[in-house]
């Protein structure tokens, strides 16, 4: 067997779902894990931050960074991973685009602190904790604004199949080539090119299991979303919310594309669309607000405040 | 020791969240302070505001990638409570199947991947060895057993929930998809082997308990309150009332989820982004409670299924009820793993599990305030949402499993730190030879 390939797995502010998806390659772990020399993976191995800090620069072949970087510690770890690893992978949609936690950018950080620490149904009069804790940045900025990313592996989480493909290619030293199709390519439902007459909310009525959900009026952003998921939600009756982000080029504006897509399917007067689509920002930008055009303006606004 | 000293453990490893430890020792060598610093937060309560409330079950799972199913379900239950919606009976069975499958795979990953390296290599092994990759190398049969069990649970969730991680099929009024007979039959065909692996795990756990009895009964034994869901005294992770038990063992509260605010106290500590939960009538810190496996076993009289109930009785012979033995959480985890397996078997054998009547069609949003409570693997989980008359979410309050444990963890760390730094009690412990020596 070839020598194990050194790997570091870092975790920013995240849910650990991407790593759970890695673990879910199941019996393939028996071939993959022995091929890896784990240099850092806080949830699995007992290496501390000072171990990672002590390694030579670029001495680790592959680094996977899960999550977005909002705390000072997250940002430190992200930069450290960049220094120590030859190839840095943005692992999952939070790491690629900011992900669902990027929705926090809809609010000012003080408003976030209010409901979390100061006043809510069970909390009252709390102060923002600060002792032995890293500071929190006022907004979620995309990881690629802090460091250069070599490979984007999106998904919330990336499927186990996708992770296995990517890791196997990396171990073999081969390029990762992924199909560029959108979710619709993998959806079993029939499209009849019929325009939407009314936008429905997902709990309304009982959907026809054989027809395109969007054409039935349920907002589904499958046609503007990278189909690396292979249509797992749409084929089980759930509309796509765009968790894999846009198809390549990966930094295109997914939210804007999704809205344009809805416009072509629902030729309704703008006032009606506005009335029927309850939460455009939270629907079309759910996983990638920080890397979108609108989201960048939001981040800019915060930077202007500082000066 | 001539002057005080601060010890930092950063990060705390083999846990899937974010934390570090700060221990302060005085000049006299006494432990002055122990802090469990949870060092990240993402503000879900804020950005759930303004979303259509039916979207909350699709957003909230991202709080936790290990326990997204409990979040998905606590969330959908909160929406249904606010809108007065009752899901169909088959939908409830499918949801339960999903949460039991999660309990099963999560408990297995915790026991084998997070905890077992300590038992296999001993607590003083080299970090390069003390992890699951090394277990796979040195004890492949044990590792394969664990992987097969995790696979069973995760693939079952995927079948019902569309995705094993961050499922998408629960919707106010029911489920978006029914279970196909061929899928049911596939998992039925797996039951025999998985039952055997589950029982093997019980045997392994009993060996570990016997080997480490000195550690379990002496280290970090910490009396606290306990909180857990209960179905009239039977341990239940999907539905029931909430029970609180005081350290002496008496059940001091047993309430409907909607009344939680009378009993839940939330303390903002100066050194942790995760807040500390406690039993409000007792105040803080006296009322600090713990959740999770042992808490559920403490607050309930019995398990719901026969093999698990027998295992619980055996556990109680050793640690009693309530058990304050922090290391008995591992034992309780195995007892619960058995119950999760038995529930899965029962549901897969239910003649109605493949019924297609999985969703009601007349769900209407309205102004309301709803609470949804389920048990996540790490403890009781509460989502509380308020909606306006259009069904838009205007306020959210979340108390996740971990918050119910942070203060208790800190308390048991203080006990352990005193034992180690003041009494050197660890030196007198009887430890077995590691299963694998390197």
Helix or strand holding residue B166 (H, E): none
Compute the average pLDDT of residues A36-63.
95
Compute the average pLDDT of residues A22-45.
93
Contact between B147 and A279 using a beta-carbon 8 Å cutoff = no
Residues B1, B23: Cα–Cα separation, whole Å: 15
The pLDDT tens digits for A214-246 are 999 999 999 999 999 999 999 999 999 999 999
Residues B63, B381: Cα–Cα separation, whole Å: 11
The pLDDT tens digits for A76-89 are 999 999 999 999 99
pTM of the predicted model as reported, rounded to 2 decimal places: 0.97
Residues B132, B139: Cα–Cα separation, whole Å: 10
Q: CB within 8 A of B342, min separation 6: which ones?
A: B304, B305, B306, B307, B308
Measured in angstroms, the CA of B172 and the nearest CA of chain A are apart by 6
The pLDDT tens digits for B220-266 are 999 999 999 999 999 999 999 999 999 999 999 999 999 999 999 99
Compute the average pLDDT of residues A136-143.
97
> Confidence band (pLDDT; 50, 70, 90) for B2?
low
Q: What is the pLDDT of residue A306?
A: 77
The pLDDT tens digits for A64-75 are 999 999 999 999
Residues A125, A114: Cα–Cα separation, whole Å: 9
The pLDDT tens digits for A155-196 are 999 999 999 999 999 999 999 999 999 999 999 999 998 999
Helix, strand, or coil here: B249? coil
Put residue B424 in one of left, alpha, beta given phi > 0 → left and psi -120 to 50 → alpha: left
Q: CB within 8 A of A206, min separation 6: which ones?
A: B359, B361
Contact between A26 and B143 using a beta-carbon 8 Å cutoff = no
Residues B149, B144: Cα–Cα separation, whole Å: 9
> Confidence band (pLDDT; 50, 70, 90) for A1?
low
Are B344 and B97 in contact by the 8 Å Cβ rule? The answer is yes
Cβ neighbours, 10 Å, residue B190: 17
Nearest to B15 among A23, A30, A43 (CB): A43
Residues A100, A270: Cα–Cα separation, whole Å: 27
Compute the average pLDDT of residues A31-45.
92
Instruction: Kindly report the average pLDDT of chain A as a whole number.
Output: 96
- Is B401 at the interface with chain A, CB within 8 A? no
Measured in angstroms, the CA of A231 and the nearest CA of chain B are apart by 9
> Confidence band (pLDDT; 50, 70, 90) for B130?
confident
Residues 104-163 of B with CB under 8 A from A: 109, 113-114, 127-128, 130-133, 136-137, 140, 143-144, 147-148, 150-151, 154, 158, 161-163
Nearest to A16 among B39, B66, B144 (CB): B66
> Confidence band (pLDDT; 50, 70, 90) for B1?
very low
Nearest to B169 among A134, A205, A236 (CB): A236
Residues B364, A49: Cα–Cα separation, whole Å: 51
Report which of A122, A236, A117, A256 is spatially closest to residue A188, judged by C-alpha positions.
Answer: A236
Contact between A17 and B166 using a beta-carbon 8 Å cutoff = yes
Helix or strand holding residue B333 (H, E): helix B328-348
Residues A30, A128: Cα–Cα separation, whole Å: 45
> Confidence band (pLDDT; 50, 70, 90) for B324?
very high
Kindly list the residues from chain A whose CB atom is less than 8 angstroms away from the CB atom of residue B40.
12-13, 70-71, 73-74
Are B419 and B23 in contact by the 8 Å Cβ rule? The answer is no
Q: What is the pLDDT of residue A271?
A: 93
């Amino acid at each position: 067997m070839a020598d194990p390939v050194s790997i570091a797995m870092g975790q920013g502010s995240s849910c650990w779902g991407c790593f759970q998806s890695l673990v879910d390659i199941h019996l393939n772990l028996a071939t993959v894990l022995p091929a890896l020399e784990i240099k850092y993976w806080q949830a699995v191995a007992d290496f501390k931050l000072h171990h990672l800090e002590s390694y030579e620069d670029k001495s680790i072949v592959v680094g996977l960074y899960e999550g977005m970087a909002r705390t000072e510690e997250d940002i430190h770890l992200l930069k450290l991973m960049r220094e120590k690893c030859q190839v840095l992978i943005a692992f999952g949609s939070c790491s690629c685009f900011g992900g669902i936690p990027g929705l926090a950018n809809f609010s000012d950080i003080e408003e976030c602190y209010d409901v979390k620490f100061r006043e809510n149904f069970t909390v009252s009069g709390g102060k923002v904790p600060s002792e032995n804790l890293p500071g929190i940045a006022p907004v979620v900025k995309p990881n690629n604004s802090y460091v250069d990313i070599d490979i984007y592996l999106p998904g919330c989480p990336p499927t186990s199949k996708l992770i296995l493909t990517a890791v196997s290619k990396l171990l073999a030293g081969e390029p990762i080539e992924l199909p560029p199709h959108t979710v619709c390519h993998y959806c079993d439902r029939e499209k009849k090119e019929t325009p939407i007459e009314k936008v429905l909310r997902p709990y309304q009525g009982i959907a026809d299991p054989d027809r395109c959900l969007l054409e039935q009026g349920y907002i589904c952003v499958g046609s503007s979303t990278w189909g690396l998921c292979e249509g797992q939600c749409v084929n089980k009756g759930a509309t796509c919310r765009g968790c894999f982000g846009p198809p390549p080029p990966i930094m295109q504006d997914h939210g804007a594309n999704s809205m344009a897509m809805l416009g072509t399917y629902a030729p309704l007067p703008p006032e009606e669309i506005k009335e029927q689509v309850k939460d455009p920002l939270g629907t079309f930008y759910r996983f990638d607000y920080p890397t979108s055009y609108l989201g960048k303006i939001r981040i800019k606004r915060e930077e202007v405040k500082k000066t | 020791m001539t002057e005080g000293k601060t010890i930092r453990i950063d990060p705390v490893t083999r846990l899937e969240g974010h934390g570090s430890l700060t221990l302060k020792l005085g000049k006299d060598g006494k432990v002055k302070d122990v802090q469990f610093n949870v060092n990240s937060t993402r503000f879900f309560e804020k950005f759930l505001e303004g979303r259509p409330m039916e979207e909350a079950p699709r957003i909230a799972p991202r709080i936790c990638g290990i326990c997204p199913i409990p979040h998905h379900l606590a969330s959908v239950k909160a929406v249904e409570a606010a809108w007065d919606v009752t899901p169909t009976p088959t939908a409830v069975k499918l949801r339960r199947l999903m949460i039991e499958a999660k309990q099963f795979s999560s408990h297995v990953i915790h026991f084998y991947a997070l905890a077992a390296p300590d038992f296999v290599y001993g607590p003083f092994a080299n970090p390069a060895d003390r992890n699951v990759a090394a277990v796979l190398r040195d004890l492949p049969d044990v590792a394969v057993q664990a992987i097969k069990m995790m696979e069973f649970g995760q693939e079952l969730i995927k079948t019902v929930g569309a995705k094993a991680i961050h499922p998408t099929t629960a919707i106010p009024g029911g489920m978006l998809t029914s279970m196909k007979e061929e899928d049911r039959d596939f998992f039925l065909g797996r039951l025999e082997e998985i039952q055997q692996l589950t029982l093997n795990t019980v045997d392994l756990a009993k060996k570990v308990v016997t080997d480490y009895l000195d550690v379990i009964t002496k280290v970090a034994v910490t009396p606290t309150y306990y909180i857990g869901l209960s179905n009239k005294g039977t341990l239940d992770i999907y539905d029931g009332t909430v029970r609180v038990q005081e350290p002496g063992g008496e059940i001091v509260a047993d309430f409907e989820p909607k009344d939680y605010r009378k009993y839940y106290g939330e303390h903002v500590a100066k050194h942790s982004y995760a807040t500390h939960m406690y039993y409000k009538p007792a105040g803080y810190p006296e009322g600090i409670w713990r959740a999770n496996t042992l808490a559920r076993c403490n607050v309930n009289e019995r398990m719901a299924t026969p093999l698990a109930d027998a295992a619980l009785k055996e556990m109680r012979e050793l640690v009693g009820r309530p058990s304050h033995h922090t290391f008995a959480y591992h034992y309780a985890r195995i007892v619960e793993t058995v119950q999760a397996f038995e529930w899965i078997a029962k549901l897969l054998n239910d003649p109605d599990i493949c019924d297609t009547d999985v969703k009601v069609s007349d769900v209407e949003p309205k102004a309301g305030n709803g609470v949804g409570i389920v048990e996540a693997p790490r403890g009781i989980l509460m989502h509380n949402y308020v909606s306006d008359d259009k069904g838009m979410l205007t306020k959210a309050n979340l108390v996740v499993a971990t918050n119910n444990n942070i203060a208790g963890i800190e308390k048991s760390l203080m006990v352990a730190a005193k034992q180690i730094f003041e009494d050197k009690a660890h030196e007198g412990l009887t430890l077995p030879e590691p299963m694998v020596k390197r």
